[in-house]
Structure 1
Amino acid sequence: MTQPTSIATIQIKNLRLRTFIGIKEEEIKNKQDVIIQVRIKYNAHKAAISDNVDDALNYRTITKHIIEHVENNRFALLERMVKEVLAIVSTHTWVDWAEVEIAKPFALRYADSVALSMEYTRI
């Protein structure tokens, strides 16, 4: 018998952090701003029925892990940072799908930012 579903999408919008990101000497020496977007899909049926926090995916815990990881590490490439943040987001067994986008403001002279995103799908 199939379990009932209520697919929920959690969105963490514009998480602004500072970290070492880049390959130029100035980037290696100075922290820069990054802006992180996270989208997570999971079956929230049990939480929606029970109204119990223990039945819901804890986005606060996920966000704390992201902050700790990004602010306490150094990255040469956005690709590595995005992959590692996506790994944090997708660790919980309830996560069916996730997307992480990280933008580096002012990375290009005439652009607001350069962003890179990756997706995870539970198989």
Structure 2
Amino acid sequence: MEKEERIFIRIQKSRKENWKKLCSKKRISLSSLIINSVENRIFNDERRMVMAFIEKQGNVFIKIETNINQVARIVNGQKFISEKLLEDFSNTLSEIEKLKKEQNMIFSRIYSILGK
């Protein structure tokens, strides 16, 4: 493991206080703010927001899948589904499949950004 070095910089006291307020609001350290800004990396607070978004998206699709299973259970119990209802259900499933593929592409891009 590489030994850490210190860098001393001179800035106005008011600027330092503004940076510290920003860090406090973002719940990150001043070192993290400076290093990630210089290296053009994503901040930890942004990473947390992205992960929360991903988790929320997963929950949305779980609810959709549950609803699909409920419809299937009803149809299996009745042993009948109207032509119109079947067509609507198929269209909905196709739309969900498209959205899921799009979501996965977005997640792939997000993960590549998070990895930096």
TM-based fold match above 0.5: no
Greater fraction of residues in strand = 1
TM-score (norm 1): 0.23
Structure number with bigger Rg: 2
TM-score (norm 2): 0.24
Greater fraction of residues in helix = 2
